[in-house]
Amino acid sequence: MVHPTAIIHPKAQISAGCDIGPYCIIGEHVELGPGCRLYSHVVIDGHTRLGQGNEIFPFASIGLKTQDLKWKGGLTRTEIGDNNTFREYVTIHSATGDGEVTTVGSHNHILAYAHIAHNVRLGNHIIMSNVATLAGHVTVEDHAVIGGLAAIHQFCRIGTMSMIAGCAKIVQDVPPYMIVDGNPAETRAPNKVGMERNGVSEQAQVAMRQAFKILIRDGLTIPNALARIETELPALPEIQHLVEFVRTSERGVTK
C-alpha cells in the first residue's frame, strides 16, 4: 500500500507487502524488502538496501550523504538487514569513501533521534536508546545496549553484550560483557543481567567476574592481565572473545 502523497522514484525497487505512508520520499537506488512499513515523512535515498520487515517511524532519514568533510564523491552504500525498528528522527548516513558501506544488521531497536554515522558496522539485536550517537567507523557487536544521550567516539568498538549507561562519553573500546558509565566512561562491572538474558552459562559468568577483576581492578598492564586471564581462567568461548577483543584494540579499552 502506497499513500498517494508519497513520492517514489520509478526505478526504486519496492517488494511485496510494503506499506508506505503519507509524504514519504524514496530515491532512485533504494531497495525495500518485503513487508517494510514506513509510517509517514520518511526519507530513504542513496544506494540503500533494506531487508524484510523493517519498521520506520516518521521523520527518519536513511542512506543520505555522509556529514564527513572527507567526502570526495563516488558510489557509497547503506545496507540494512531484517526486522529492525527505527523510531522518529533516526538518521543513518551512507559511507564516506567510494565503494564503502554503512552496515546495520537485523533485529535492532533504534530509538528516537539516534544517529548512526558513516561507515558504522552495527550487528544484531542491539538497542540504541534515545539520542544515542555513533560517530564514523564505530563497530557495535551483537546484543549491546547503548543508553540515551551516550556519545561514541569515531573508530571505537563496542563489545557484545556490553551495556553503556545514559550520557556516557566513550573514547576507547568497550570490552564485551561489561557495563560502562561516566564521562569519560569507566568499566564498572560485568553485565550480569545481559549475560543471563542471552543464555551465557553460569560457569562463563563466574569466569567473567574473575576476568573483570584481573583486567580492570588489579592494576595490571593489558599484556600482563591477558596473560593471567589465559593462564588462570577456563578457555571458554566468552573468555576467549574478551581476550581477543582486548588484544586487538587499537584505541585501548575503557578501564
At a CB cut-off of 8 Å and minimum separation 6, what does 43 contact? 24, 25, 60, 61, 62, 64
**pTM higher than the cut 0.95:** yes
Distance CA 10, CA 29 (A): 10
SS3 content of the chain, % helix, strand, coil (to 5): 15, 30, 55
Sorted by where each begins, the domain ranges of the chain are 7-137, 196-247
CATH class of the 196-247 domain in this structure? mainly alpha
- Looking at domain 7-137, its CATH superfamily turns out to be Hexapeptide repeat proteins (2.160.10.10)
pLDDT digits (tens, 9 = 90+) for 212-253: 999 999 999 999 999 999 999 999 999 999 999 999 999 999
- Residue 144 CA, chain-centre distance (Å), reads 8
Q: What is the pLDDT of residue 67?
A: 97
